[in-house]
C-alpha cells in the first residue's frame, strides 16, 4: 500500500522520483505528490494518478524543479478522503520540514490535541501531518538535529510506518525509518535511492539495504549510511544485499497489461519455482524442510495463515498436506487469527503464505505464533521481505516480480511450493510410498508444459465466453475437493478486476442456499476435471440446468458428459487430481481478465485495491 521514492545524489531527482512512482503504481493509490529541495522546497501534489501529477507540475513550471534531492509518494487513503490537501508530502507548520509516510499512526489524535495546545494548526485530515509537526515540535523544543527529533517522535507514536523526512536547511540529508511497512535503500556510486521496494531504482544499482522493523537510517550525500535502532539509538551494522532483479522483468514486454503478461509467464515461473527442488531423478529437495526435519516429522498440527489469494492457496495446501503427509492442517485468515486467542503449542508449525512478504496481518499473526513457541515457515516471493526475515525457515516462490494487483502467477507458484512440500514431507514421514512418490514427482515435472498447453487451448475460446457474460451482475463458482479453493479464487478474480459480484462455494453446498439464486440470468462456473469428484459435480450441474442456469464448465480434454450439459466448456489437459488446481485456475484467470477488459476496467490497478496490504 502506498509508495515512497526518494533520491539524494548528483542526478536530477524529479525524473527519478516520477519514474519510480510509476513503478510503484501497482501497489494501489488514489493521489500522488513530490517535493524537491535545492535550498528551498518546491512541491506539487494532487488527487489522481502520477500522470496527473506530471501534468500539474508542468502547469506550475514557473517554479524550478531542478534539484538533486527529493522524494515522492503515492497515497492509498486511510485517514482522510483522497484529495489534494490530504495527499503527500506534508509540510510542518513552518514549512521547513517535509515528510512522506506509509502506514497508520494510531495515537495521532492525542498528539494532535497536544500540538494544538502548543499553537500548531492543521490543514489536512491525515495522521501524517500530525507526525511531521510533532517532529518539528520536538526538534525546536529539545534543540536537536532532525534525526534525533525523528527518533524522539517515533518512540512516542503507536502504529505502523515507513517514513522519509527532509528539512529545507539541509538538502543533502534524509532521515528514513520503518515499523511494519517496507522500506529499502538503494546504494549507488555517490548516490542513494529510497523506495518501498527495489523496482524504482534497479537500473541504477543492484545494491540494496532493507531496513528491519524498528530501524532508522540517516542518509547524507558522500557519507556512509548510518543505521540505528529507533528505541535506543544503538548503531546497527548495515547489511547490503545484491539484488537479482532485472529491468525487463518489471516491464510489459509487448503485452497490453501486466496481468495478461503474468498469466502467460506461469509456465516459466512454475518451472523456476521447481528448479533445484524437483530433481532429474524425480525426487524433491527442500533444504528449508531438511534443515528442520525433526520439527516437521514430530509436528502434530500445521496452521497456515494467509490473506486473499494466498489464503486460497493455503486451502489447497490443506488438502495436499493432509492427503500426502497425514498431518492435520488448519487454514486461518491472518486478520482473524491475530485478534483472537488461538491455541498454539510449541510443537506446532505455522506456515505463512504471502506474495509480497509484507502483508501486515500475516506478519502480526507470525509474531503472535512465534511468541507462543511455534516453528515458523514462510512461503513468499520477495527476497529480503519482512516475512522472509522473521521466519525460522521457508521457501521462496520464484515467480519474479508480480506487478498486476490481482495475483495470478503468485497463486500457481504458491501451489507449486505447497505441492513440493506435501510430497517431500509425505515421503520423509513414510505416509507416501516410494513408487507413488516417484510417480507423482514425475507427473509434477510435466506441469509447466501442461500449463502452457492450457493457455493455448483456452486463450481464444475464453474471449467468446467473456463477450457473452461481460454484462452480468452476479456469478457463482462451484468446485469440490481440491478445486473448491479454485472456485473461491476464480470468484475473487472476477470481483477484483471486473467489479462483478461473484461467490465461490463447494458444489455440494449449492442446494443449502445458493440454489435459490439460480435462474436464466445466473452464470455458474463449474470446476469439473475428470479426476476426483467428477460424478458428484455432474449431478450438481444437472440441478443447475434444471433451473435454467447458464453453465461454464472447466473440464478435462475430451470430456463428453459435462460438456453436453454445459452451455460452454473450457478444456484442460488430463492430470492427477492433486495437480489439477494449477491447471484449472488458468481459464478462470483468462476469463476474468477478458471480461474486465470488455467492461473498460483497469485490470492492473483495480479501484480501491493495493498489491501489498501493509496496514490493517
Neighbouring-strand partners of residue 44: 34
Question: For residues 223 and 173, what is the distance between their CA atoms, to the nearest angstrom?
Answer: 10
Question: For residues 184 and 7, what is the distance between their CA atoms, to the nearest angstrom?
Answer: 12
- CA atoms in the 13 A half-sphere facing the CB of 365: 32
Instruction: Identify the sign of the CA torsion 583, 587, 590, 591.
Output: negative
Question: For residues 482 and 485, what is the distance between their CA atoms, to the nearest angstrom?
Answer: 7
Return the C-alpha cell found at 267. Answer: 509456465
Question: For residues 274 and 267, what is the distance between their CA atoms, to the nearest angstrom?
Answer: 11
For 216, the 3-state DSSP assignment is: strand
Return the C-alpha cell found at 319. Answer: 488438502
Region for residue 543 given its phi and psi (left: phi exceeds 0; alpha: psi -120 to 50; beta: otherwise): alpha
Helix (H) or strand (E) segment spanning residue 117: helix 108-117
Neighbouring-strand partners of residue 86: none
From the list 409, 493, 495, 611, the catalytic residue is 611
From the list 2, 380, 441, 475, the catalytic residue is 2
Nearest to 307 by CA among 104, 495, 488, 476: 488
Inter-axis angle of helices 434-445 and 409-429, nearest 10: 160
Question: For residues 189 and 222, what is the distance between their CA atoms, to the nearest angstrom?
Answer: 9
Cell 495527499 belongs to residue = 87
Q: Determine the distance from the C-alpha atom of residue 64 to the mean position of all C-alpha atoms in its chain, rounded to a whole number.
A: 37
Return the C-alpha cell found at 520. Answer: 436464466
- Give Cα separations from 425 to 104, 143, 315, 430, 580 (angstroms): 40, 60, 17, 8, 20
Phi, psi of 230, rounded to the nearest 5 degrees: -70, -40
Neighbouring-strand partners of residue 296: none
Taking residue 305's Cβ as centre, other Cβ atoms within 10 Å add up to: 32
Q: Is 545 a catalytic residue?
A: no
Nearest to 192 by CA among 433, 10, 388, 424: 10
Q: Is 2 a catalytic residue?
A: yes
Helix (H) or strand (E) segment spanning residue 21: helix 13-23
Cell 455432474 belongs to residue = 538
Region for residue 254 given its phi and psi (left: phi exceeds 0; alpha: psi -120 to 50; beta: otherwise): left
Catalytic residues, by residue number, are 2, 611
Amino acid at each position: 500500500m502506498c509508495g515512497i521514492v526518494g533520491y539524494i545524489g548528483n542526478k536530477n531527482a524529479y525524473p527519478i522520483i516520477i519514474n519510480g512512482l510509476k513503478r510503484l503504481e501497482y501497489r494501489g493509490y488514489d493521489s500522488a505528490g513530490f517535493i524537491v529541495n535545492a535550498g528551498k522546497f518546491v512541491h506539487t501534489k494532487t488527487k489522481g494518478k502520477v500522470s496527473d501529477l506530471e501534468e500539474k507540475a508542468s502547469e506550475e513550471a514557473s517554479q524550478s524543479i531542478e534539484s538533486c534531492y527529493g522524494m515522492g509518494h503515492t497515497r492509498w487513503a486511510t485517514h482522510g478522503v483522497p484529495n489534494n490537501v490530504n495527499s503527500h508530502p506534508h509540510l510542518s507548520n513552518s514549512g521547513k520540514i517535509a515528510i512522506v509516510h506509509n502506514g497508520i499512526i494510531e495515537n495521532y489524535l492525542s498528539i494532535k490535541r497536544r500540538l494544538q495546545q502548543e499553537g500548531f494548526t492543521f490543514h489536512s485530515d491525515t495522521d501524517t501531518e500530525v507526525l511531521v509537526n510533532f517532529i518539528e515540535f520536538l526538534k525546536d523544543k529539545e534543540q536537536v538535529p532532525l534525526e534525533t527529533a525523528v527518533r524522539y517522535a517515533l518512540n512516542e507514536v503507536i502504529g505502523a510506518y515507513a517514513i522519509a523526512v527532509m528539512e529545507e536547511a539541509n538538502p543533502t540529508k534524509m532521515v528514513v525509518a520503518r515499523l511494519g511497512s517496507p522500506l529499502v535503500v538503494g546504494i549507488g556510486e555517490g548516490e542513494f535511492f529510497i523506495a518501498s521496494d527495489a523496482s524504482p531504482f534497479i537500473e541504477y544499482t543492484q545494491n540494496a539495504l532493507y531496513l528491519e522493523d524498528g530501524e532508522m537510517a540517516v542518509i547524507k550525500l558522500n557519507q556512509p549510511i548510518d543505521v540505528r535502532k529507533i528505541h535506543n539509538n544503538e548503531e546497527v551494522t548495515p547489511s547490503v544485499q545484491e539484488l537479482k532483479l532485472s529491468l525487463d522483468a518489471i516491464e510489459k514486454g509487448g503485452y497490453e497489461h501486466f496481468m495478461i503478461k503474468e498469466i502467460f509467464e506461469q509456465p516459466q515461473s512454475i518451472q523456476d519455482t521447481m528448479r533445484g527442488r524437483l530433481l532429474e531423478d524425480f525426487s524433491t529437495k527442500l533444504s528449508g524442510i531438511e534443515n528442520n526435519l525433526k520439527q516437521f516429522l514430530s509436528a502434530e498440527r500445521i496452521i497456515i495463515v494467509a490473506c486473499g489469494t494466498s489464503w486460497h492457496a493455503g486451502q489447497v495446501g490443506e488438502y495436499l498436506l493432509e492427503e500426502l503427509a497425514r498431518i492435520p492442517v488448519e487454514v486461518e485468515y491472518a486478520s482473524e487469527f491475530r485478534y483472537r486467542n488461538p491455541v498454539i503449542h510449541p510443537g506446532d508449525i505455522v506456515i505463512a503464505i504471502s506474495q509480497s512478504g509484507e502483508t501486515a496481518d500475516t506478519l502480526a499473526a507470525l509474531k503472535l505464533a512465534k511468541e507462543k513457541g511455534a516453528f515458523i515457515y514462510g512461503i513468499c516471493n520477495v527476497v529480503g521481505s519482512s516475512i522472509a526475515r522473521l521466519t525460522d525457515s521457508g521457501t521462496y516462490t520464484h515467480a519474479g516480480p508480480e506487478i498486476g494487483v490481482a495475483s495470478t502467477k503468485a497463486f500457481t507458484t504458491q501451489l507449486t511450493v505447497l505441492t513440493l512440500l506435501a510430497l517431500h514431507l509425505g515421503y520423509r514421514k513414510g505416509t507416501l510410498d516410494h513408487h507413488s512418490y516417484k510417480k507423482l514427482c514425475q507427473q509434477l515435472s510435466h506441469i509447466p508444459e501442461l500449463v502452457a498447453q492450457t493457455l493455448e487451448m483456452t486463450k481464444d475460446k475464453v474471449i467468446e465466453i467473456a463477450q457473452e457474460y461481460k454484462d452480468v451482475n452476479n456469478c457463482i463458482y462451484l468446485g469440490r475437493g481440491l478445486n473448491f479453493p479454485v472456485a473461491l479464487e476464480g470468484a475473487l478474480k472476477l470481483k477484483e478486476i471486473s467489479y462483478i459480484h461473484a461467490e465461490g462455494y463447494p458444489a455440494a453446498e449449492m442446494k443449502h442456499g445458493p440454489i435459490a439464486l439460480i435462474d436464466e440470468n445466473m452464470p455458474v462456473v463449474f470446476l469439473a476435471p475428470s479426476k476426483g469428484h467428477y460424478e458428484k459435480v455432474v449431478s450438481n450441474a444437472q440441478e443447475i440446468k434444471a433451473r435454467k442456469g447458464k453453465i461454464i464448465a472447466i473440464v478435462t480434454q475430451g470430456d463428453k458428459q459435462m460438456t453436453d450439459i454445459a452451455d460452454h466448456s473450457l478444456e484442460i489437459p488430463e492430470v492427477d487430481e492433486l495437480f489439477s488446481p494449477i491447471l484449472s485456475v488458468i481459464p478462470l484467470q483468462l476469463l476474468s481478465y477478458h471480461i474486465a477488459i470488455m467492461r473498460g476496467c483497469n485490470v492492473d490497478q483495480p479501484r480501491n485495491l493495493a498489491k501489498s496490504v501493509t496496514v490493517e
